[in-house]
Chain A
Amino acid sequence: MNSPLKRVAVACLAMFALLMINVNWLQGVRAEELRSDNRNTRNYYERYAIERGRITASGKEILAQSVETKSNKFRFVRQYPEGRLYAHVTGFFSPESADAIEGAENKLLDGSSADLLLRRSIDLFTGEPTKGANVDLTIDPRAQKAAYEALKASGKRGAVVALNPKTGGILAMVSLPTYDPAELSGTDKGKVFTRYDQLAKDKNQPLLNRAIRQTYPPGSTFKVVTAAAYLEDDDSRDGQTIVDAPQRLPLPNTNISLPNYNGAACGSGKVPLVYALEKSCNTPFGKIAMELGYDKMREQTVKFGMGEQIGVPMSVVQSDFGPKEDQAALAMASIGQRSNRMTPLQMAMIAAGIANDGVVMKPYLVNKITDAKGDTVDEADPEELTDAVSTETAHKLRDMMVSVVNNGTANLAQVPGVQVAGKTGTAETSDGAPPHAWFISFAPAENPKVALAVIVESGAANVGAEATGGHTAAPIAKAVLEAILK
């Protein structure tokens, strides 16, 4: 009986060999696929097993951190000390997704990034649990708070973006209405998803980061760009160059004409460029644009960075001057109407470009990444995005914008002891809602530390001489400027 027994022994070995091969196949070859299968709920627990890094602002204020719990299942949960204030910056960390910085920097925050390989290898040897890297942002907490409080006081939807014009670092990024990221970062899927659905369906769109994910007609703030194109076209022009400023500008091939705000006259009908900007007359800029032509206007917008794919690291939606149509459309677009659509960040970049002697810096939020031990992993390296205008043109524009604040529509943005440059805007909306109030600005004019854009949706509700961007948006800008320059 020994020979069949030996064959049975071989058969048994073969069975074990099959099992071993199959286990190798499962755990060696298919492991990654099985691990990352979205039905594998381990990923969900895994999210809470790691101590994620902190998100801080300017190296001090903590925007988000992981705190240890008593629970066996969820060891670390996310905490946002000033959730609503920084919601659109930090984003949230929900059971299945993450938004804004939490999402864009996820691999660093949870420690899985290749940049942290060295740290992880050291941890492996010392037996310490891997912790995520800390992400420090360029946000200036004072500016953020000032912007949030001032915009909130208006009671309207809107956004504020402030930049350091010399580096492109984002100093404040506020979008209202906001939400509490803690509500979307809990471990209870049912609760989180219900809350998310509620917020997503809210008609005020609290989840939307208006500063970078929404475009608006820029209104009169865009006249700065039109003026830039006009000055760039001929070196000899400056703020004192006399331009035509009729009460109404007839639009070619149409039976309508472009009026000034409230149909008012603009000086004597022939005014210096700076006066047109101070009073925000429409007709001179419409006429200038028609003389320059679509291509030159478009080129100037591109030079201010429009059309660039920008990630701060969250991706920014494209701003657009609008398609090439007839002269009438061009005249409207050149005063920030028609198909002209800008994100608040883009408008802040325009102000920043002028402030920085004509060079637009690439905007960014992440200042520094440090690993759990405090060693620097990565540091921001400011980059030039585009050359918008020559230094001379930039200085001419600056002087005109200072004049707008000192003598024109933006007197509410004046900060005692500081020269502030700015431009107001009142953008009419196509859907008949009250116009949006805009303001772009930078200060101090000689040595700019901050450039910003403010939009208050339907903020120019009161029809009348004061119902402009200057009335609603400029005081918000002033609050931010004061917070930073104080």
Chain B
Amino acid sequence: MPAKRRMAQLVMLAVAVLIVMGAYANVGLAMNGEVPSGMLTYGLGLGGLMLAAYLVLAKFAPWADPLILPLVTLINGLGCVMIFRLESVPMAGASSNSQIMWTALGVVMFSVTLVVLRDHRMLQRLTYTAGAVGLVLLAIPAVLPGSLSEVQGAKIWIRIGGFSIQPGEFAKLALVVFFAGYLVAKRDVLALAGRRLLFIDLPRARDLGPILVTWGLSLLVLVFEKDLGTSLLLFGTFIAMIYIATQRTSWVLIGVLLFVGGAFVAGQLFDHVGARFSAWLDPGSPIFYGNAPVCLEDPPGDPLCSKSYQIMQGLFGFGAGGILGTGLGQGHPELIPLSFSDFIFAATGEELGLTGLMALLMMYALLVERGLRSSIAARDPYSKLLAGGLSFILAWQVFIIVGGVTNLIPLTGLVTPFMSQGGSALLANWILIALLVRMSDSARKPPPQAIQNEGMTQVFQR
């Protein structure tokens, strides 16, 4: 029977908060020679917040995996420190206060989710509602005029007054809930074998509907919102979930083929997709970097000019960091455009080095694996699918953005979960974590004692 490990969780949380406070102090000492005046407030604030989250968790999800909350706390805290560090340069756009405020709201959402959602299977009843909500949230920026929805080429915002949210971040959650409910209901049909080709059982042609619809949806996101990242994120997650639901490798193959086909067509049709791909292949070339003579004209003489400038700045940052990093506050991550949001991983790599990034990636990997563990331990298919889907989308998102920033794959804009500056993503990801905690709790909770006394029923144990 799994232990609650509440004490261990509390200690780990305290350590996470202490590491973050130490990092704050480090930034201040390196940059101004003194401990930042707000450090104690920040530290106590973060500590208080996490203590509250812990208390809610201990009350409403006592059996939840003890590692999840400390990991998220540490990643989120380090993100705040990096933003604080960039803001101190100063770097326009970076605002640690707003990030901390959103973190606080995120913890509130986390708590509310745990308190309100006592049984995640309630969500199964909302399958189609979630689907509809997801689609609407996804579609809003595409429908709105560009002035209200477009920032730096990506049409993914709703901007009202000084306030802006990215509905796609919440759509992502709603759609995973929808996929889980839908696939659980249809998985027997989708798993039916059609024709056999080589070693693979192909699905029946008439069952191809759902995957084609999702594929079409992803393409629409790409076309109307110019958001490569979300498009790839949603389609990949759907493929992973349909595979979990049906155990059919053929779905993965079909998905990959559709993806390659879609990517190829998109690359031919849309300049911005093709440009990302070319820049990925040779980011250092003068045209992509933007220092070729043709690019110095006004306006630049080639549409591909400067397409890799940001990536190269990021790579220079990684290079400057090397094995041990420059130390917090001692590098120049402000030279990397958007280093407080999309490129925060590069900024972290510069100052914390390979050592820091390995630790950070390890934390993400642990978080994902704890989620997948809950999924395997879950007792019903719906929980398995939902937990599996949510864990996968987290891993997939880290892979897409970190892979893009490190030039492993073509760059597509996405936030680095819990690190990048941005309220919507923080809220959505804290809700995602609440769902994982909720499912982890129900997976690890021992079955009711009464049944055990009858001596007949099989008891689940790990």
Query: B245 at interface (Cβ–Cβ under 8 A)?
Result: yes
Instruction: Give the nearest-CB partner of B318 in chain A.
Output: A26
12 contacts between A and B (CB under 8 A): A2-B376, A3-B247, A8-B388, A9-B369, A19-B361, A19-B406, A23-B349, A26-B315, A27-B354, A35-B316, A35-B320, A37-B319
Query: B110 at interface (Cβ–Cβ under 8 A)?
Result: no
Taking a contact as CB atoms under 8 Å apart, the answer to whether B319 and A31 are in contact is yes
Q: In the complex, A359→B375 CA distance in Å?
A: 89
Taking a contact as CB atoms under 8 Å apart, the answer to whether B365 and A22 are in contact is no
In the complex, besides A1-B384, A16-B361, A19-B399, 7 extra interface pairs with C-beta distance below 8 angstroms are A1-B244, A1-B245, A2-B384, A13-B365, A16-B368, A23-B361, A27-B354
Query: B267 at interface (Cβ–Cβ under 8 A)?
Result: no
Taking a contact as CB atoms under 8 Å apart, the answer to whether A72 and B31 are in contact is yes
Instruction: Give the nearest-CB partner of B309 in chain A.
Output: A39
The 3 closest A-B pairs by CB, nearest first: A34-B319, A27-B354, A40-B316
Task: Give a binary string over B353-366; 1 marks a CB under 8 Å from any A CB, 0 the rest.
Answer: 11001100110110
- Chain A residues in 8 Å Cβ range of B430: none
Task: Name the prevailing secondary structure of the A interface residues.
Answer: helix
Task: Name the prevailing secondary structure of the B interface residues.
Answer: helix
Q: Which residues in B have some Cβ–Cβ distance to A below 8 Å?
A: 31, 89, 240, 243-245, 247, 289, 291, 312, 315-316, 318-323, 331-332, 335, 349, 353-354, 357-358, 361-362, 364-365, 368-369, 372, 375-376, 381, 384-385, 388, 391-392, 395-396, 398-399, 402-403, 406-408
Taking a contact as CB atoms under 8 Å apart, the answer to whether A1 and B316 are in contact is no
- Chain B residues in 8 Å Cβ range of A41: 316, 332, 335
Q: Which residues in A have some Cβ–Cβ distance to B below 8 Å?
A: 1-9, 11-13, 15-16, 18-20, 22-24, 26-28, 30-35, 37, 39-42, 45, 72
Taking a contact as CB atoms under 8 Å apart, the answer to whether A23 and B384 are in contact is no
Taking a contact as CB atoms under 8 Å apart, the answer to whether A33 and B319 are in contact is yes
Taking a contact as CB atoms under 8 Å apart, the answer to whether B403 and A19 are in contact is yes
Most buried by A among B291, B318, B349, B403: B318
- Chain B residues in 8 Å Cβ range of A7: 243
Q: In the complex, A20→B359 CA distance in Å?
A: 10
Give, as a whole number of angstroms, the nearest-CB distance from B318 to chain A.
5
Taking a contact as CB atoms under 8 Å apart, the answer to whether A19 and B315 are in contact is no
**CB contact between B372 and one of A8, A18, A23, A26 (< 8 Å): that residue:** A8
Taking a contact as CB atoms under 8 Å apart, the answer to whether B320 and A34 are in contact is yes
Taking a contact as CB atoms under 8 Å apart, the answer to whether B403 and A22 are in contact is yes
Taking a contact as CB atoms under 8 Å apart, the answer to whether A13 and B369 are in contact is yes
Taking a contact as CB atoms under 8 Å apart, the answer to whether A26 and B332 are in contact is no
- Chain A residues in 8 Å Cβ range of B353: 27
- Chain B residues in 8 Å Cβ range of A23: 318, 349, 354, 357-358, 361, 406
- Chain B residues in 8 Å Cβ range of A34: 315-316, 318-320
Q: In the complex, A7→B291 CA distance in Å?
A: 45
**CB contact between A42 and one of B323, B331, B381 (< 8 Å): that residue:** B331
Taking a contact as CB atoms under 8 Å apart, the answer to whether A32 and B361 are in contact is no
Give, as a whole number of angstroms, the nearest-CB distance from B5 to chain A.
21
Taking a contact as CB atoms under 8 Å apart, the answer to whether A39 and B289 are in contact is yes
Taking a contact as CB atoms under 8 Å apart, the answer to whether B335 and A42 are in contact is yes
Q: In the complex, A18→B369 CA distance in Å?
A: 16
Taking a contact as CB atoms under 8 Å apart, the answer to whether A35 and B319 are in contact is yes
